Amino acid sequence: GGDMEAAVDWLRTKGLAKAAKKAGRVAAEGLIGVVASGNAGAVVEVNSETDFVARNEQFQKMVSDIASVALANDGDFDKLVAAEYPGASKSVKDYVTEMVGTIGENMNVRRAGYISVSEGAVAAYVHNQVVPGLGKIGVLVGLESAGDKTKLAELGRQIAMHIAATNPLATRKEELDPAVVERERNVLIAEAKESGRPDNIIEKMVEGRIRKFFEEVVLLSQAFVVNPDDTVEKAVKAAEADIGAPINVVGFVRFALGEGIEKEESDFAAEVAAARG
């Protein structure tokens, strides 16, 4: 990923001593920026060290601008950081570095995501919104359909809110990482074996629990937060009748601010130590 390359570049340019000092100052605050326009949308995470900076108008404008640049570059992280920053004759990466000097806090563009549909709508939702399009959780969902755009966008927004709340791992069962399913299955088998029941019963128990697992982590199988009696899939099917055309949920992106950063801090510190060797 781009994050690791960026970290390595940064180490090389700033020198190891400074990096070792800075590694303790983790940028885990900041903002998620989301922008959706017609058939496409982009989401970015830009980190700062404190929430105080996330409330700074200069920083907010920067995150909005970076989200727009991400949209123009189809969410490609490497293209994004190398692209020209709007209204500045320098790259996004260099602009952020300059802002570190201005604001006096470590900051970085951590990641970018993108969703597009050939026809239909890309809906966005921002949770804990500070200003429009900026907050702590950002979601994009793509709905492919030839149906009524306004109704489609409304359904998309509801599904995006649902995703913010439930944090699914995949859109459909087939798209789940097989390793995740395997790990879950092994845990369930071990648990079921402790019951001391015969193997054929254990098998049934495990199958039932795996189905339950899918209902928890697969978007289309989850109970829809807007109407928990229906699954998301059923809600989409019901909307098809209203919209007058089939709807395909092509995918989603959900970024929560700072998720997984603690782990990266220790890895980063270990790498600095290893590089100093």
| Per-residue pLDDT tens digits of the chain, which is 277 residues long | 566 666 655 555 554 445 445 545 677 899 999 999 989 999 999 999 899 999 999 999 999 999 999 999 999 999 999 999 999 999 999 999 999 988 888 999 999 999 999 999 999 999 999 999 999 999 999 999 999 999 999 999 999 999 999 999 999 999 999 999 999 999 888 888 888 888 899 999 999 999 999 999 999 999 999 999 999 999 999 999 999 999 999 999 999 999 987 645 555 556 555 555 5
pTM value is 0.83
Domains of the chain: residue spans and CATH = 29-174+218-257 (3.30.479.20), 177-216 (1.10.286)
Q: Is residue 147 left, alpha or beta, with left meaning phi > 0 and alpha meaning psi from -120 to 50? A: beta
Alpha-carbon torsion, ordered 99, 100, 102, 105, to 10 deg = 130
